[in-house]
Amino acid sequence: MENQVTPERRPVVLSAIQPTSIPTIGNYFGALKNWQTMSEDNDCLFAVADLHALTVHPEPAKLRQQIIEMYATLLSLGLSPEKNIIFIQSMVHAHAELAWILDCYTMFGEAQRMTQFKDKSQKHADNVNVGLFAYPVLMAADILLYQADYVPVGADQKQHLEIARDIAERFNNLRGATFKLPEPYIGKIGARVMSLQDPTQKMSKSDVNPKASVFLFDSPDLIMKKFKSAVTDSEAQVRYADGKDGINNLMSIYSCCTGLDFDAIEKEFEGKGYGDFKVRVAEAVIEEIRPVQEEYARLMKDKAFLMQTANEGAEKASRIAYRTLQKAKKKVGLIVDK
């Protein structure tokens, strides 16, 4: 069943983020910053994907804290819980229930071919659990429960969206039209922020070098320190060119913060050295994320509000998810609630 978005209703977009680490400015400029804009033209659901985090056996108390922190992060981005549905995945029971049904409509071979499963199995050979293997099926349930028209996906998640479509299509062919086939969301393209220490590699939350990544809630002093130690080149001229990966990366980050194009940035720093440029980039980043940091700090002092908002979000999400789950259960022959 292909997407049929009628003018009377806005497209549904689902985005989910795991709570296991603080986002970097790469995550922020590449995706999170655009989520608010995305919600202006679409009916958006934003989820903290805490069930997905269980595959690595996190310490329970730490995970609970990280879930709250990530939920507060979503709100601190300016995403309104009145205009969007912002929820914690595990608080909507339909996710786990539909995932089991979809497991039974997923072929072992296609799940085994998932690149992320292969990569993580090699990295964590001592913990290749069934949850890691079935991870894409739970992701499919996340998407299909809300009849999402679109899902924002990076290159590393594109394969997971494809298998979600395959599962949905197989189910629809066998049991009748039930799920909408989701498409990748093509919105405003965010910047691809690279590592400050190896600018040929994407900035990563899991980089072992503490100087390589700037996190959304790093202190201003730490942000300044990291940018001052950023890898550049020996030319000492601020210009965008092949072979100047470090400076190109800093110029991209500065452009994200200021809206200036590369020509304007080159003119602004004409005759100035890399030291001046690094300081200015750091200052621009500090100023860009200051409102997010301030709102996050305010929200984390009000846990009662966070939990109330999370419960309200889960109730809204559950109402939508329940309808789809009941439909799927009926189609496979299970007894459904009256």
Residues facing residue 17 across a β-bridge: 48
* Pairwise CA distance, residues 250 & 205, whole Å: 18
Phi and psi, residue 230, nearest 5°: -65, 140
DSSP of 61-124: HHHHHHHHHHHHHHHHTT--TTTSEEEEGGGSTHHHHHHHHHHTTS-HHHHHT-HHHHHHHHHT
- Asked if 202 is an active-site residue, the reply is yes
Measure the CA–CA gap between 76 and 262, rounded to whole angstroms. Answer: 30
Query: In this structure, how many other beta carbons lie within 10 angstroms of the beta carbon of residue 50?
Result: 22
SS3 letters across 233-302: CCCCCCCCCCCCHHHHHHHHHHHHHHCCCHHHHHHHCCCCCHHHHHHHHHHHHHHHHHHHHHHHHHHHCC
From the candidates 33, 83, 118, 120, give the one annotated as an active-site residue.
120
What distance, in Å, lies between the first and last C-alpha atoms of the chain?
27
- Any residues with CB less than 8 A from the CB of 26 and at least 6 apart, and which? 192, 193, 194, 202, 203, 204, 213
237 is written with which tokens? Answer: 């001229």
Out of 180, 202, 226, 244, which one is annotated catalytic?
202
Dist CA 46 CA 17 (whole Å): 8
Q: How many CB atoms lie within 10 A of CB 117?
A: 18
Q: Hey, is 17 helix, strand or coil? A: strand
205 is catalytic: yes
C-beta atoms surrounding 197 within 10 Å: 18
Catalytic residue among 33, 83, 188, 205: 205
Rounded to whole angstroms, the Cα distance separating 131 from 55 reads: 6
Q: Residues with catalytic annotation?
A: 120, 202, 205
